[in-house]
Chain A
Amino acid sequence: MTPGEDDAPVVPAAGRAPGSAGRVRRHTDPLVPEGPVRVSANVCQAAGCMSMGSDRLFADLKEDVVASGATDVAVRRVGCLGLCSAGPLVEVPEQGRLFEKVGAAGGTSLAELLGSLTGEAPGGREVADDPFFARQVKVVLERSGKVDPEDVEDYVASGGYEALAKAVTMMSPDEVTDEVVRSGLRGRGGAGYPTGLKWRTVAKAPGEGGKYVVCNADEGDPGAFMDRSVLESCPQQVLEGMAIAAYAVGASRGYVYARAEYPLAVKRLQSAIRQAEASGHLGRDILGTRFELHIEVRIGAGAFVCGEETALLASIQGGRGTPRPRPPYPASAGLWGCPTLINNVETFANVPSVISRGSGYLAGTGTERSKGTKVFALTGAVVRTGLIEVPMGLRLRDIVFDIGGGLAPGRRFKAVQTGGPSGGCIPEDLLDMSVDYETLSQAGSIMGSGGMIVMDDTSCMVDVARYFMDFCREESCGKCLPCRVGTQQMYRLLDRMCHGTATMAQLEELEGLAGMVRATSLCGLGQGAPNPVFSTLRYFRDEYLAHVQDHRCPAGVCPMDGTPGAPVPPEGALMAGTGAASTGGAR
């Protein structure tokens, strides 16, 4: 959508039939009255709610508001409201109320929402006291659920691009970098490398052939959708972060590498780039200065390894996404051999607030070594699932039980999985740990990009380890032997355990192999692949022993249909014919 005349607000007029000529121009346009707005209905239009019918709800609600004759009610399109398990969601910010499952069976009826909007009877529930929202601190998601993701003017009206303006008109590139260094911001893609230091390295690198900024939006961890939500909810904030970074390091070209699995995020990002170019925030002569930045979107094609930075660069250049040894790091030799800055979506989305509010803003939140907030996709066996942003250092218990609302009645907590296929499973007795880079690492997991999957007593930890190993063996690019063959062999050993045919010697073999693959693989995929095995062995060894010694799966998930010591069962698809996951039927 290009801002301009075409987006003139639709004016509801009393007594006019909805949808009559000249009323609703496009079904995706928001409904904004000409006069003062008393209340607005913010309808979530991110992928989660959309797949539950929020786009139809958006259209229906506009018609109903017009039909009601109300002239002071706006119906807006916004990004993710967070509580995805209760979608489609509608928030009425003026009343501080949230309406759940609007129009869905067992949820809020459209009539109740309309009654609340027109002032007949307040419906929904208070947002302020809800622990799901009360424990969160929003920096990255500050505008998520508040601004229209497809309208640059809405972003600008909410203070967007003020940071870029401050950077390019009042600060030197070095001052911008210094501010980011002082903020203590670390990479949100998982590894936690200090962002400012990376910027400084790229800034100092000689760049006769030009420099590049790259946004890693190849969010491949299963169970993670933070980057997708940020791009769907406020793509301009990511572009602003990239533009500030490009100014700081001296780049004039940039790429966003996004997953093909996220069509809505890609569409909104492409639209955001066009609009930002039209409004002078990207392209040539940005904000009237000599600074220029041209950003292109490149779409992945379904390869997890492309989240690794050197593989990602190879893929942007049109090739197979295989990693290469580092050094040289992309900061000195990246795209086409030029110095290239690569940061994750969430990292870039943090940057505008660092610049506009000063480094102290971020540094004032979090722990000593992990500053700021972290966005998590909270999913699995908790009552409330969705997208959350919490200060670093919050207890894991608070996330699972306060924000997530604990487990379903009758279910018992078993573990939280963080960090995807390179992460680990954190057991119950560590629930009081602080969520930050160091503590998670000490516990044998990693921060990762932000997937947080809660598992209950219906999950078998040996089966979970096998699940992740199946993922890694399929996603291994095949370039280095330890990963290509090691993940395959570890999978076969784990599969034996799930079939009840493994021996104690093979359990030892698994541990030995895991150590070798971690130590000798070329990139993070192989180096991290043994982590789920290590962490489940560390905290749930009794489950392994039950499988191997007693030929029994305590959770009742694994088929355990083989004869102990029998030959390896025939190779098959992981989830075909193995009985796979059990749901317990309770959820």
Chain B
Amino acid sequence: MAPTTAAARQAPSDDKRWRQVDVRMRRLGYRPDGLIEVLHTTQEVFGYLDDDALRYVGESLGVPPSTVYGVATFYSHFSLKPQGRHTCVVCTGTACYINGAGQLLEEVGRRLGVAPGGTTADGRISVLKARCLGACSMAPAVVVDGEVHGKVRPDALMAVLGTL
């Protein structure tokens, strides 16, 4: 697909964060094959991808809405709904699994009342599963707000989450 239709457009709002998305698109020359890269940037600055964002990125890159939506929903990294203020990512790789990742998810789910992929009712914590963080030597591993915790037991994890 030739990148002919794409160009700079009016952002959906005057939110300054759109500039970061615009810069990314410009650096990629508004090429349609940069779609995933631009969605990464958009999610980084806004936290998730809403309809306005998907439409704007699609129009700017000359990618039809159906394709943009197809891509955004295909990859598990992209989220179409807002995340909690904090994230708790439980690794469910093989080493973590045989070392009790299941119990961690179960305990967190029970105490916070939220299933994997969900966010607590007060919007405080999102609980997510990761395929494998590659931190297998510290199994089971949990990432809380970007910080890796190794050899985690349920009580220790709840203590960490309690301090957020």
Contact = CB atoms under 8 A, between A and B. Distances in A.
Contacts of A262: 134
Contacts of A380: 94-95, 98, 136, 139
A319 B32 CA distance: 9
Interface string B10-39: 000000000000000000000111111101
Contacts of A321: 74-75
Contacts of B150: 51-52
A302 B77 contact: yes
- A-B pairs, top 10 by smallest CB distance, nearest first, are A580-B102, A225-B134, A301-B75, A51-B148, A84-B137, A222-B93, A575-B102, A223-B94, A302-B77, A379-B136
Contacts of B135: 47-48, 51, 225
Contacts of A459: 98
Contact of A222 (B36, B63, B103, B131): B131
B7 to A, nearest CB: 17
Contacts of B5: none
B134 A228 contact: yes
Interface in B128-146: 130-139, 141
Contacts of B97: 222, 467, 575, 580-581
A302 B132 contact: no
* Chain B interface size, under 10 / 10 to 19 / 20 to 34 / 35 or more: 35 or more
Given A321-B74, A379-B137, A379-B139, A261 B33 contact: no
A571 B113 CA distance: 18
B132 A223 contact: yes
Nearest to A315: B36
A316 B76 CA distance: 16
Contact of A223 (B70, B105, B130, B136): B136
B33 A317 contact: yes
Contacts of A220: 131-132
B37 A299 contact: yes
A300 B39 CA distance: 11
A377 interface: yes
Given A48-B138, A85-B137, A380-B95, A575 B101 contact: yes
A302 B76 contact: yes
A318 B102 contact: no
B71 A221 contact: no
Contacts, number: 168
A501 B132 CA distance: 30
B115 interface: yes
B116 to A, nearest CB: 6
Nearest to B103: A580
6 contacts: A51-B147, A301-B75, A318-B35, A319-B71, A467-B97, A576-B116
B55 interface: no
Contacts of A575: 92, 97, 101-102, 105-106, 116
A224 B33 contact: no
B94 A303 contact: no
A225 B150 CA distance: 16
A377 B77 contact: no
A529 interface: no
B109 interface: yes
B109 A576 contact: yes
B36 A318 contact: yes
Given A301-B40, A302-B78, A580-B101, 17 more contacts: A220-B132, A222-B93, A222-B131, A261-B133, A300-B77, A301-B78, A302-B76, A304-B131, A315-B36, A318-B31, A318-B35, A321-B74, A377-B134, A381-B98, A575-B102, A575-B105, A582-B100
Interface residues of A, number: 62
A48 B151 CA distance: 12
Contact of B134 (A261, A574, A580): A261
A302 B92 CA distance: 14
Nearest to A261: B133
Contacts of B119: none
A326 interface: no
Nearest to A421: B94
B116 A573 contact: yes
Contacts of B101: 575, 580-581
Contacts of A379: 94-95, 136-137, 139
Q: Which of A219, A228, A471, A581 has the most CB of B within 10 A?
A: A581
A169 interface: no
Interface string A282-319: 00000000000000001111111000000000011111
A301 to B, nearest CB: 3
A318 B32 contact: yes
Interface string A117-137: 000000000000000000000
A303 B74 contact: yes
B99 interface: yes
Contacts of B63: 318
A370 B48 CA distance: 46
Contacts of B74: 303, 320-321, 477
A583 interface: yes
Interface in B106-164: 106, 109, 115-116, 130-139, 141, 147-150
A501 B148 CA distance: 38
B100 A319 contact: no
B98 A386 contact: no
Interface string A368-392: 0000000001011100011000000
B99 A576 contact: no
Interface string B63-99: 1000100110011111000000000000011110111
A578 B93 CA distance: 17
A87 interface: yes
Given A48-B138, A262-B134, A299 B40 contact: yes
A453 interface: yes
Contacts of B147: 51
Given A453-B98, A581-B102, A301 B131 contact: no
A396 to B, nearest CB: 17
Contacts of A319: 35, 67, 71
A581 B137 contact: no
Nearest to B78: A301
A566 to B, nearest CB: 22
